[in-house]
């Protein structure tokens, strides 16, 4: 990982001239703003004077800043503020008057308390776009409940199917949070496009449970239509075979075989070890994905034998040679060291005060043929831009000093 982050002089991006205010916490709000910043928007992160909770999750710096903050904060400016004070509310209103988009994954009561609810924002800037994320949406019996990524995984049915009977399993990757953030950024862009066409802003709302249900929806469609009541099978896919994680002589590989064409390739691969491919391709039980999944035991056992006789590297190379999708099950360090990751620059080396070495931060997971996007600046230290942002809002040095004395900023 040798790519260095660009700090100054980067060309303007797609959203150049768009100002985003990030009042978010943890992931769903902050990463939404990060994605907009990757597209060139100016993003101002507004957080408490002592720093938000998300700044210190999984600490990696000597000052305690964490991995979540480093991922969710490149390209941002930092303003510290107590929005519960009258002076703080005035600063919020001045900021909003200069902004195009406000991102805030805060409870509805907190939005009203800080003057960030849509009705209040519209009195300050009628064409503002507000993007909010909640756990369950703004209606229904759970509207006032809080929640995190894992709650969405649990209540969508995903944990039940990902695990095994009596042992539900949560994905370590907080996919509900990051997908909610991505959908929020998608909604913000759509609202911005309409605003440019009509002059009208709007409130874009996302919810963790809604996201989780959308990601898991094909399983829910099957359940709703058939009433099949599937039980969890861990890594084994229930709608094709061989689709599972298999032990090699020195690790594990994941293999995913979907469709008759890929299954014939699998049979051909087994034939290299002496199998008759017709044993598999002509068996009436193995003529469709679902039938193969329903009668998977001999297919899985044969695949286990094949994998056990090979190292992970050997298995992956032979799968690649015959065109079967598969990959090694990596440790986190192996993922960092993978040559494809390095060749494509998927991770950028981002420095920050107090880090023992640059952090491998995921750049925007998109490539554009013409437009500059991605990481331009390292995450900001706490309050690094407070004075400059306030000066842009019309506060002189004496006024800023007074705000600091009053512990407003």
Say what the pTM is: 0.92
What is the pLDDT confidence band of residue 11, given thresholds at 50, 70 and 90? Answer: low
* pLDDT band at residue 23 under the 50/70/90 scheme: very high
- Distance, in Å, from the CA atom of 184 to the CA atom of 205, rounded to the nearest integer, reads 8
- Assess whether pLDDT exceeds 50 at residue 9: no
Radius of gyration of the chain measured on its C-alpha atoms:
25
* Contact (CB, 8 A) for 281 and 263: yes
The pLDDT value given to residue 277 = 87
Quote the pLDDT of residue 235: 96
| Sheet strands side by side (includes 326-328) | 244-247, 252-255, 326-328
**Nearest residue to 17 (alpha-carbon basis) of 40, 34, 35:** 40
* Mean pLDDT in residue range 76-84: 94
pLDDT tens-place string over residues 233-246: 999 999 999 999 99
Calpha distance 14→42 (Å, rounded):
11
Confidence of residue 12 (pLDDT cuts 50, 70, 90): confident
77 vs 44: CA distance, rounded Å:
5
CA-to-CA distance for 348 and 322, rounded, in angstroms? 33
Query: In this model, does residue 4 exceed pLDDT 80?
Result: no
**pLDDT at position 266 over 70:** yes
Cis peptide before 242, with omega less than 30 degrees from 0?
yes
CB of 309 closer than 8 Å to CB of 274: no
Pairing mode of beta strands 101-104, 42-47: unpaired
Mean pLDDT of 257-271: 95
Go through the domains of the chain in sequence order and give each one's CATH number: 19-215+336-405 (3.40.50.10540), 252-328 (3.30.1540)
Confidence of residue 121 (pLDDT cuts 50, 70, 90): very high
Smallest CA-to-CA distance from 110 within 159, 142, 144 is with 144
User: What is the arithmetic mean of pLDDT over 222-239?
Assistant: 96
| pLDDT over 70 at 7, yes or no | no
CB 174 within 8 Å of CB 27: yes
Q: What average pLDDT is seen over the chain?
A: 94
Q: What is the pLDDT of residues 333-359, one digit of tens each?
A: 999 999 999 999 999 999 999 999 999
Q: What pLDDT score does 8 carry?
A: 46
d(CA 70, CA 57): 10
Q: Bigger pLDDT: 53 or 40? A: 40
d(CA 206, CA 172): 22
Between the CA of residue 266 and those of 23, 205, 259, what are the distances in Å? 51, 45, 11
Does residue 1 carry a pLDDT above 50? no
Q: For residue 190, what pLDDT is reported?
A: 98
Mean pLDDT to the nearest integer, 101-123: 93
Least confident piece of the model among 10-14, 103-107, 154-158, 331-335 = 10-14
* Total Cβ atoms within 10 A of residue 195: 17
The tokens of 264 are what?
């014939």
- Report the range of poorest mean pLDDT among 111-120, 174-183, 225-234, 252-261: 111-120
d(CA 288, CA 268): 17
Structure tokens given for 190: 């759509």
Over range 201-214, report the average pLDDT. Answer: 97
Q: What does the pLDDT read at residue 263?
A: 97
- Asked if residue 193 has pLDDT above 70, the reply is yes
Of 151, 130, 190, the C-alpha closest to 26 is: 151
Q: For residue 230, which of 162, 183, 305 has the smallest C-alpha distance? A: 162
Rounded to an integer, the average pLDDT of 350-373 is 95
Q: Is the pLDDT of residue 62 over 50?
A: yes
Contact call for residues 45 and 30 (beta carbons, < 8 A): yes
2: pLDDT confidence band, cut at 50, 70 and 90?
very low
Instruction: Return the HEC string of the chain.
Output: CCCECCCCCCCCCCCCCCEEEECCCCCHHHHHHHHHHHCCCEEEEEECCCCCHHHHCCECCCCCCEHHHHHHCCCEEEEECCCCCHHHHHHHHHHHHHCCEEEECCCHHHHHHCCCCHHHHHHHCCCCEEEEEECCCCCCCCCCCCCCHHHHHHHCCHHHHHCECCECCCCCCCHHHHHHHHHHHHHHHHHHHHHHHHCCCCEEEEEHHHHHHHHCHHHHHHHHHHCCCCCCCCCCCCCCCCCEEEECCCCEEEECCCCHHHHHHHHHHHHCCCCCCHHHHCCHHHCCHHHHHHCCHHHHHHHHHHHHCCCHHHHHHHHHHHCCCEEECCCHHHHHHCHHHHHHCCEEEECCCCCCCCEEEECCCCCCCCCCCCCCCCCCCCCCCHHHHHHHCCCCHHHHHHHHHCCCC
The percentage of residues in the chain with a pLDDT greater than 70, rounded to a whole number, is 97
């Amino acid at each position: 990982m040798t790519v260095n982050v660009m700090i100054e002089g980067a060309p303007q991006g797609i959203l150049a001239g768009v100002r985003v205010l990030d009042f978010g916490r943890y992931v769903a709000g902050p990463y939404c703003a990060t994605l907009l910043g990757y597209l060139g928007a100016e993003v101002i992160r507004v957080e408490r004077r002592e720093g938000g909770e998300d700044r210190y999750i999984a600490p990696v710096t000597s000052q305690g800043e964490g991995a979540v903050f480093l991922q969710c904060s490149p390209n941002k400016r930092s303003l510290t503020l107590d929005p519960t004070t009258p002076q703080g509310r005035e600063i919020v209103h001045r900021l909003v008057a200069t902004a195009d988009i406000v991102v805030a994954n805060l409870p509805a009561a907190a939005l009203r308390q800080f003057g960030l609810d849509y009705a209040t924002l519209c009195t300050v800037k009628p064409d503002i776009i507000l993007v909010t994320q909640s756990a369950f949406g703004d209606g229904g019996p759970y509207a006032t409940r809080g929640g995190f990524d894992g709650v969405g995984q649990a209540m969508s049915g995903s944990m039940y199917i990902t695990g095994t009977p009596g042992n539900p399993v949560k994905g370590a990757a907080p996919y509900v949070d990051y997908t909610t953030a991505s959908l929020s950024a998608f909604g913000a862009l759509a609202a911005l496009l309409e605003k440019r066409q009509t002059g009208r802003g709007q409130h874009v709302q996302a919810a963790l449970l809604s996201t989780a249900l959308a990601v898991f929806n094909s399983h829910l469609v099957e359940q709703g239509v058939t009433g099949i009541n599937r039980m969890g099978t861990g890594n084994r896919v229930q709608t094709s075979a061989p689709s599972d994680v298999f032990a090699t002589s020195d690790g594990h590989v994941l293999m995913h075989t979907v469709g008759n064409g890929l299954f014939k390739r699998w049979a051909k691969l087994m034939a290299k070890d002496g199998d008759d491919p017709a044993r598999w391709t002509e068996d009436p039980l193995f003529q469709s994905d679902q039938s193969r999944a329903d009668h998977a035991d001999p297919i899985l056992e044969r695949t286990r034998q094949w994998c056990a006789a090979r190292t992970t590297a050997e298995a992956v190379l032979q799968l690649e040679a015959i065109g079967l999708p598969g990959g090694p099950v990596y440790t986190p360090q192996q993922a960092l060291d993978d040559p494809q990751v390095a060749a494509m620059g998927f991770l950028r080396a981002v420095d920050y005060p107090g880090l023992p070495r640059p952090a491998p931060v995921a750049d925007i997971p998109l490539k554009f043929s013409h437009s500059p996007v991605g990481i331009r600046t390292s995450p900001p230290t706490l309050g690094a831009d407070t004075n400059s942002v306030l000066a842009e809002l019309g506060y002189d040095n004496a006024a800023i000093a007074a705000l600091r004395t009053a512990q407003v900023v």
